[in-house]
Amino acid sequence: MTTLTNTLATRHEPFDAEARAADATAVSGFWVYLMTDLVLFASLFATYAVLHASTFGGPSGSDIFHMPLVLAETLILLTSSFTCGLAVVAARAGGARRTAAWLVATLVLGAAFVAIEVSEFASLVRLGDGPSRSAFLSSYFTLVGTHGLHVFIGLVWIVALIAVVLRKGLTRSVLRKLVLFSMFWHFLDLVWIFIFTVVYLMGVSIV
């Protein structure tokens, strides 16, 4: 907690006690939100674990998962987490334009991830393997789609952050928003690692 709030410090705008309290409150509140999101994803993972074998004559994970594409998605999202971290580092150093540039890089990578996922879903639906085909596909679309929706929300957030950084500069309020976004983005990376392992790696290994 202390590390996160200290990240909000800038060279040009020193902290006072009231500002530290506001930052700590914002970070604490956002942790509560992330924990509720964690409960949501845990429920979806549990549902998938129960239903992943319920194909009802339809395709299984080993039939529909294209691992090179999934691996590309994973590398793209992990790289976007790195560029997001560089945006925070640039903001800490007081470089508004560098911060915006790294946010743009994160935006491009995140958009590529969503585009691949939407293309994958659309291809399955065209083949008749949509969420209504089986309980397995329903749980798969729900889990992976919920994560994808979160990434899309993150993209909207990035666009807003870029606009604010370029318009207002790196004020304490802007830095607070940037740190909260980075927490959200890294959380999505963590969830994707579990999806990659539980859904895709375990899915293709089931005979």
Q: Which domains, and CATH codes, for the chain? A: 2-205 (1.20.120.80)
Contact 135, 51 (CB under 8 A): yes
Q: Residue 122: what pLDDT?
A: 96
Cα atoms found within 13 Å of the Cα of residue 132, Cβ hemisphere only:
3
Residue 98, Cβ neighbours under 10 Å: how many? Answer: 15
Q: Residue 121: what pLDDT?
A: 96
Q: Residue 51: what pLDDT?
A: 94
Q: Residue 21: what pLDDT?
A: 67
Q: Residue 11: what pLDDT?
A: 46
Q: What is the dihedral of CA 97, 99, 102, 103, to 10 degrees?
A: -110
Q: Residue 106: what pLDDT?
A: 98
Contact 139, 51 (CB under 8 A): yes
- Along the 207 residues of the chain, how does pLDDT read in single tens digits? 444 445 554 444 455 666 676 677 778 888 999 999 999 999 999 999 999 999 988 899 889 999 999 999 999 999 999 999 999 999 998 889 999 999 999 999 999 999 999 999 999 999 999 999 999 999 999 999 999 999 999 999 999 999 999 998 888 889 999 999 999 999 999 999 999 999 999 988 754
